[in-house]
Structure 1
Amino acid sequence: MHLVSANLLVLLMRRTGDGRPVSVRELADAVGCHPSKIDHLRNGRRQSATQAEAEAIARRLGVDLMCLWEHTGRTVEAANELAPIAAVPA
C-alpha cells in the first residue's frame, strides 16, 4: 500500500477518530511494527506499508483505508461493457 500523504498522516495522528491524539509509539504498538517505521511514514522517508499494516493504521486512526492509502502493484481493468447498439435507419 502507498501512503497518499505524509502530512495527512500527521494530521490524523493529532486527532484520531475518537478525538484524541496518538503518538508514534502508540500507533506502532497498535500496528505491530517498530516506531521508526511510523516515524519514517510521517516524515516522508517511507511511503509504503504492507496491506495489514495499512489496515491497522487506518483502523487505529478511525478512517477508511482508502482515505490514507492507495493500492500498488498490478491493476485489473474493469470488464468491457457491451458496445452500444447502433441505430438502424428506418
Structure 2
Amino acid sequence: MRSNEDSYLLVSRDLLVLLMERTGDGSRVTVRELADEVGVHPSKIGHLRTGEQETLPRTKALACARRLGVDELVLWKPTGRAVCAPLEEPHIQAVPA
C-alpha cells in the first residue's frame, strides 16, 4: 500500500555520504544509526547512498536532514505540488423557462 504523503527527492547521493561523514555537529553517523533515527530499514539508507533509491516520504526526509544538521532543502527536493490544486467552480446548469 502506497502512502498519500509527498515524496522528497534526494538532491545528491554524494552529498548524503559527505554529510554522514561529518554531520552538523561534526560527528559521523553510520547507516544503521541514521536509519534508526529516521525510522527506516538500514537498507533504505544504503540504497539512497548507492542511487538504487532516490526518494523518501516527507516526514522521513525531514528527519534525515534534521539528524544530519542541514536544512531539508539542502539535501531534498519536494516532488509534489507546492500548493493544492484549485477547486473547480461549480457549474451552473441552465434550467428550462
Structure-2-length-normalised TM-score: 0.76
Deviation (angstroms), 1:58: 0.2
> Quick one: which of 1, 11, 24 aligns to 2:18?
11
For residues 4-83 of structure 1, the aligned pairs below 5 Å read: 4-76=11-83
Q: Distance in 2 between matches of 1:74 and 1:20?
A: 35
Q: Distance in 2 between matches of 1:73 and 1:29?
A: 26
Q: Which has the larger share of strand?
A: 2
The runs of 5 or more residues in structure 1 that have no matched partner are 77-90
Paired residues, number: 76
The runs of 5 or more residues in structure 2 that have no matched partner are 1-7, 84-97
Percent of pairs identical after alignment?
Answer: 62
- Which consecutive aligned stretches of 4+ in structure 1 deviate over 6 angstroms post-superposition? none
Letter in 2 for 1:31: V
- CA RMSD, 1 decimal: 0.9
Deviation (angstroms), 1:75: 4.4
Deviation sequence 1:69-88 (CA, Å, 0-9, x none) = 00102345xxxxxxxxxxxx
Deviation sequence 1:27-55 (CA, Å, 0-9, x none) = 00000110000000011110000001100
Q: Distance in 2 between matches of 1:26 and 1:74?
A: 31
Q: Distance in 1 between matches of 2:82 and 2:30?
A: 34
